[in-house]
Amino acid sequence: MRGPLQGPGEKEDQEEGAAAASGRPAGGPGAKKGSDTDSDSDQETEGARRPGELGEDTLYLRSCRAHSVVPASCFLRQGSAPELSLRHRGLGPQRLDLRDNGLCGAGAEALAGALSKTRSICDVDLSENRLGAEGARAICAALVVSPAVQRVQLAGNGLEEQAAQYLAELLLAHTGLKSLDLSYNQLNDQAGETLGPALAENTGLTELNVRWNHLRGPGAIAFARGLEANIFLRVLDISYNGCGDSGASAVGEALKTNNVLEELYMSNNRISEAGALNLGLGLRVNQTLRILAVSRNPMRSEGCSGVLKSVQANPQSALELLDFSDIQVNREFDDLASSVKVILPGLCIKTAARRVEYKKELLAIFRPSE
C-alpha cells in the first residue's frame, strides 16, 4: 500500500535517487526488463547522459551523501538545464537558499510572489543577486506578509539609499524577524538617516549586520541614535563603515541607556583617540555588553587605554572580550590591562601582540537544534 504522501512514480524517483547517491546505475541488478527506466539505465551504464542531467560528482550529490539524504531524481534529470522545475516535490519547511543566482530586480519580483504565500520557510538567503532597489522593494514587501521568516540575508546586493526605505518598512512591520544581514552593500549617509528611526521602533530583531557599507557622518549618528532607543537588538556589526569619531561618540551615548545589546563590532571605522574616549563613556555605565571589537582603528595605545580605563571604572561591566587587534599598544597599556584583570578576571583583551582564546556563545536562534 502506498503511503499517504507518496504520489504516483515517487517510489521510482526515490529508487533512482538512492542509486545516484551510491554512484551505481539506476537500472542495475534487479531492474525490471522492458520498463521505461530500462533504457535510461542503459544510457547511464554506457556513460551517456540526457541533456541537462547532472553528472555523478556534483556539489548536490556530494551534499546528499554527506547528509545521508536521498537525492531528488527530478533534480538530477534537469539540474543543469536552463530552467528548473521542482513542482510537487514536497521540499518542506525551514530554509530557502538562492545565494549568487543573478536574480536581479526582475527575478526578485517573480520570486516575491511565491515567497509572500509561504508559511513554512523561516530562513531566506538571497545574497549576491544584484537585487538593487527594485528587487529590495519586491522582496521586502513579500517578507512583510511572511510572518514565519525569522532570518534574512541580503548581503552583496548593491543596495543603496533608494533601498533603505523598503528595508525600513520591513523593520517596522515584521516583528517576527530576528536576524537581518545587509553587509557588503552601499548603504550611505542618507540610508543611515532612514534606517536609524526604523531601528529605534523595531520590536523583535536580535541581530543586525551592516558591515562593509558607507554609514558615515550624519548617517552614522542617526543610526546610533536608533540603537539608543532599541530594546531588542543583542548583536550589531557596523565594522568597515568609516563611522569616524562622530559615529563612535554617538554609539557611546547609546551605550549609556541601552541595556540589551551584548555584542558590538566596530572594527576599521576610522576611530581616533578622541572617538575612543567618547565611546568609552558609555562603557562606564553599561552593564550588558559582553563583546566589543574595535580593531584596526587609528586610536593608538592612548585610545585603547581610554576605553580600558572606562571599563575599569565600571565594576558592574559584563565585558568578556575587548578586541584591539592590529593596534600597537605600549607598556602603560599592558600595566593597565593587568590591573583591570584583577577586577574582571574573566575579561579577554586582544591586542596586536596578544592573542587570546575566546569562545563565543551563540544566541538561541542560531544554536543547532537538538
Q: Which three cell numbers stand for residue 12?
A: 521510482
Locate all alpha helices (DSSP H) within 23-119, ordered by sequence.
36-45, 59-66, 73-78, 104-115
Dump pLDDT digits (tens) for 152-191. Answer: 999 999 999 999 999 999 999 999 999 999 999 999 999 9
Shared-domain flag, residues 143 and 185: yes
Query: How many CB atoms are closer than 10 A to CB 15?
Result: 17
The answer to the question of residue 220 being in a domain is yes
The answer to the question of residue 89 being in a domain is no
User: 368: Cβ–Cβ under 8 A, 6 or more apart, which residues?
Assistant: none
pLDDT value for 110: 86
Shared-domain flag, residues 234 and 104: yes
Shared-domain flag, residues 235 and 154: yes
pLDDT value for 101: 87
Dump pLDDT digits (tens) for 296-342. Answer: 999 999 999 999 999 999 999 999 999 999 999 999 999 999 999 99
The answer, as to whether pTM is greater than 0.85, is no
Shared-domain flag, residues 182 and 244: yes
Please answer whether residues 260 and 232 qualify as being in contact, where contact means their C-beta atoms are separated by less than 8 angstroms.
Answer: yes
The answer to the question of residue 365 being in a domain is no
Residues of the chain below pLDDT 70? 1-60, 74-76, 78-93, 354-359, 361-370
The answer to the question of residue 109 being in a domain is yes
pLDDT value for 85: 58
Number of domains in the chain: 2
Query: How many CB atoms are closer than 10 A to CB 325?
Result: 14
Which CATH number fits the domain that encloses residue 280? Answer: 3.80.10.10
Please answer whether residues 286 and 313 qualify as being in contact, where contact means their C-beta atoms are separated by less than 8 angstroms.
Answer: no
Shared-domain flag, residues 269 and 319: yes
Shared-domain flag, residues 150 and 62: no
Q: Domain limits at 202?
A: 94-358
pLDDT value for 96: 86
